[in-house]
């Protein structure tokens, strides 16, 4: 069974530029999560989807961050414009349903110059 | 809000030794899940072990076992017969059973297994 797929693995951009991350969850998993992991810290939840509905986006900085999960499968997380402080690893995870074990992708390491 | 505390930023042991990583948490919930995840340099977060709070029996997975003390809100991970491949960051995480809000992670413990 394929795991959670994320792309790109690495991204380097200049500040004020837009950037997007893509996530393909494990087949059949209807809950999808995006986490932000700063250096030396544990991941922090940004947004959670149940199918195509964002059911918890309270930690998503909505002035510059946006996310979508069309058709309840793949998801895209976007930052526009990026700031220096956005440099971090962005992790995607999925689970069969809310409350079950979450399985993580390899993450995207973003560097903003 | 829940908090998870890992008080050991880094630990180092010799190969084949047993090591215990500590984790405490704070919550007003009665039903929840606790997890240990391993994150090697590749960044892939890998599930090590999971514990349901309503179960008194401690979870075990091969060389990995936990000591779950619900009253003390403590959830330590024991790794027996440690191997070089166990070198990684280890994160303790909490999740509510109802209306899961995602995982709440500790800051992690960097475990180094020396040959």
pLDDT tens-place string over residues B82-98:
999 999 999 999 998 86
- Angstrom distance (rounded) from CA B58 to CA B68: 6
CA atoms within a 13 Å half-sphere pointing along the CA-CB vector of B115 = 1
Q: Which residues contact A8 (CB under 8 A, 6 or more apart)?
A: A21, A108
pLDDT given at position A36: 97
Q: What percent of chain B clears pLDDT 90, i.e. is strictly above it?
A: 83
Give the pLDDT of residue A70: 83
What CATH number belongs to B3-114? Answer: 2.60.40.10
Distance of alpha carbon B16 from alpha carbon A91, whole angstroms: 32
For residues B33-58, give the mean pLDDT: 92
Of the two residues B78 and A52, the one the predictor is more confident about is B78
- Mean per-residue pLDDT for A54-65? 89
pLDDT given at position A1: 65
> What mean pLDDT comes out for the span A83-90?
96
**Which of A38-47, A52-61, B10-19, B71-80 is the least confident region?**
A52-61
| Whether pLDDT at A98 is above 80 | no
Average pLDDT score over residue span A54-58: 87
Q: Please provide the average confidence, as pLDDT, over all residues in chain B.
A: 93
Confidence of residue A56 (pLDDT cuts 50, 70, 90): confident
Residue B100 has pLDDT above 60, yes or no: no
Q: What is the pLDDT of residues A20-46, one digit of tens each?
A: 999 999 999 989 999 999 998 999 999
Q: Is the pLDDT of residue B32 over 70?
A: yes
- Quick one: fold of A5-112? Immunoglobulin-like (2.60.40)
Band of residue B62 on the pLDDT scale cut at 50, 70, 90: very high
| β-pair partners for A31 | A50, A95
Query: Using CB atoms, which residue from A45, A105, A107 is nearest to B102?
Result: A45
Q: Any idea where the domains of chain A sit in the sequence?
A: 5-112
* Cα B19 to Cα A1: distance, rounded to the nearest angstrom: 32
Distance from the B103 Cα atom to the nearest Cα atom in chain A, whole angstroms: 7
Taking an 8 Å cut-off on Cβ atoms, the answer to whether B95 and A45 are in contact is: no
The residue of B5, B44, B45 whose CB has the most chain A CBs within 10 angstroms, and thus the best one to mutate to test that interface, is B45
Record: contact A104-B99, CB cut-off 8 A: no
Q: Are B13 and B82 in contact (CB under 8 A)?
A: yes
Decide if A25 contacts A4 (C-beta within 8 A).
Answer: yes
pLDDT of residue A99: 67
Residues in chain A closer than 8 A to B102 (CB atoms): 33, 35, 45, 48, 56
pLDDT of residue B10: 97
B99 pLDDT exceeds 80?
no
* Residue B97 C-alpha, separation from nearest chain A C-alpha, in angstroms: 6
| Contact yes or no for B101 and A45 at CB 8 A | yes
Answer whether B101 sits within 8 Å of A106, measured CB to CB: no
């Amino acid at each position: 069974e394929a795991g959670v797929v994320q792309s790109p693995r690495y991204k380097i951009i200049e500040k004020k530029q837009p950037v997007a991350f893509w996530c393909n969850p494990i087949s059949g998993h209807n809950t999808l999560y995006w986490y932000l992991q700063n250096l030396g810290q544990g991941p922090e939840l940004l947004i959670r989807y149940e199918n195509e509905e964002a059911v918890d986006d309270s930690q998503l900085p909505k002035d510059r961050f946006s996310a979508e999960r069309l058709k309840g499968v793949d998801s895209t997380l976007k930052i526009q414009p990026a700031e220096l402080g956005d440099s971090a690893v962005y992790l995607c995870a999925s689970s069969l349903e809310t409350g079950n074990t979450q399985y993580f992708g390899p993450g995207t390491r973003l560097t903003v110059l | 809000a829940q908090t998870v505390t890992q008080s050991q930023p880094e630990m180092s042991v010799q190969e084949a030794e047993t090591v215990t990583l500590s984790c405490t948490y704070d919550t007003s919930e009665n039903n929840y899940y606790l997890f240990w995840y391993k994150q090697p340099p590749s960044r892939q977060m890998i599930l090590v072990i999971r514990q349901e709070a309503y179960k008194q029996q401690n979870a075990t997975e091969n060389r990995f076992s936990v000591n779950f003390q619900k009253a003390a809100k403590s959830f330590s991970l024991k790794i027996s017969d440690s191997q070089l491949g166990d070198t990684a960051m280890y994160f303790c995480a909490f999740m509510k059973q109802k209306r899961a809000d995602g995982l709440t992670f500790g800051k992690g413990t960097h475990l180094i297994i020396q040959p």
